[in-house]
Copies of this chain bind each other. A is one copy, B any other.
């Protein structure tokens, strides 16, 4: 288990000072060592304890990023890429200090290729900025993690969201990347062709690599035409199992459902309290269908028939935008509704993903475990992908509760892996889930990941302490 013990040490103050002072010369007021800024960059929406970098720098071009990385490589100082800091697993922490490279000023939309349904952007563009820009062009970008994340960060964590069941994840929606490697080399991973068999899949090597193999400085993303029509639906089921069976049947039938979100009874109950709704207190599916007018009608009706077979109902659907918004507001309110059950405590989100045949069983066992552990949290998720979340509400000052939370999370991961699933569907590994990689993949596969990391980043300067770590000799 040597690879799980990282004994890397912080660079000496001399080396840090050399890099910071050179960067000051190069970047002027686009370099800061202000402690508040550094702490913000190590801890935004996560419960993981902040470990600030020694400085934060704001490059604007690929070449500037390359010069930062070259300087850090020459002095063996860590480089921590930063988008919006909305990840959950400690991805932006700097356990060995170093330079935080904030890409927020690299936020230009460079090209829209409407005919090819793709675009070229800088990594600091957020998903909402991109969609605002695309709105009057009849195009959209479907990947929607909860936060308004920077697209660069979404590439890094292989993000997905509610639309993944139809449109895939970041893995499926990135055509090509420009990456600054740990030696400062600038690499373009692919052409703008829709597909290619030309050599190793460098694009997918970087998607999900969490900044540990390089910094993404340009992205070619697939886009999609805005659907002519959208219908939304809501349907309660007697049990989570009934809801999941309906999901499986709909997918097998080939209904191209765009969104298929599950909320458990606990979540629905809190929502009714919070939003003064009278949703039936039972597991609930929220759905969305994209297509032409006749097609979204057909899809919704077909799903209604399938839901009835699995004792779902009353099933209601609509194409009216205001009614659709109301339905989806419920989904978004869930987060706040549950937060208010216990104000002032920390929100600890975690996620796993299992084959959908095991989803109901996994959700039920997890809910039971949650209750038995005397922990509070809604279960909701992307049922069509077998991916679900719990946002635990934890008093981080209560050592016993924190211990129960950690034990619960560990059981949750083991449960997923035992069901042929994964320890994270969309949040990533970061610092907190490193220990599960060997359990999920086995020693040999983890060694392969280490081999890749060591070959591409032999000095271990790129976001060290994330995904894979090793004991230096």
Complex Cα distance, B188 from A447, in Å, reads 12
Which among A50-58, A124-132, A200-208, A271-279 touches the partner chain? A200-208
Q: Is the CB of B445 within 8 A of A189?
A: yes
8 A Cβ contacts from A53-98 to B: none
Complex Cα distance, B294 from A191, in Å, reads 38
Supposing A195-B385, A424-B197 touch, asked if A256 and B256 sit within 8 A by C-beta, the answer is yes
Q: Is the CB of B199 within 8 A of A441?
A: yes
- Taking the closest CB of chain B, its distance from the CB of A465, in whole angstroms, is 14
Complex Cα distance, B194 from A164, in Å, reads 10
Q: Which residues of B contact A252 (CB under 8 A)?
A: 114-115, 117, 138, 225
The verdict on A34 contacting chain B, using a C-beta distance below 8 Å, is no
Complex Cα distance, B200 from A164, in Å, reads 19
The verdict on A20 contacting chain B, using a C-beta distance below 8 Å, is no
Which among A7-15, A348-356, A393-401 touches the partner chain? A348-356
The verdict on A403 contacting chain B, using a C-beta distance below 8 Å, is no
The count of identical subunits is 2
Which among A21-29, A152-160, A262-270, A321-329 touches the partner chain? A152-160
8 A Cβ contacts from A417-452 to B: 417, 420-429, 433, 436-437, 440-442, 444-445, 447-449, 451-452
Q: Is the CB of A442 within 8 A of B198?
A: no
8 A Cβ contacts from A173-216 to B: 181, 185-202, 204-205, 207-209, 213
8 A Cβ contacts from A226-253 to B: 227-228, 248, 251-253
Q: Which residue of B lies closest to A436 (CB)?
A: B198
Q: Is the CB of A171 within 8 A of B201?
A: yes
Complex Cα distance, B199 from A204, in Å, reads 11
Listed in ascending order, the chain A residues whose CB lies under 8 Å from chain B are 113-118, 138, 157-160, 164, 168-169, 171-172, 181, 185-202, 204-205, 207-209, 213, 224-225, 227-228, 248, 251-254, 256, 290-292, 294-295, 298, 302, 353-357, 385-387, 416-417, 420-429, 433, 436-437, 440-442, 444-445, 447-449, 451-456, 467-468
Question: Would you mind naming 24 contact pairs between A and B with Cβ atoms under 8 Å apart?
Answer: A115-B252, A115-B357, A187-B442, A187-B444, A187-B445, A188-B445, A191-B417, A191-B421, A193-B353, A193-B355, A193-B416, A194-B387, A197-B426, A197-B429, A198-B424, A199-B441, A199-B468, A201-B208, A202-B445, A202-B449, A204-B204, A228-B254, A254-B290, A448-B456
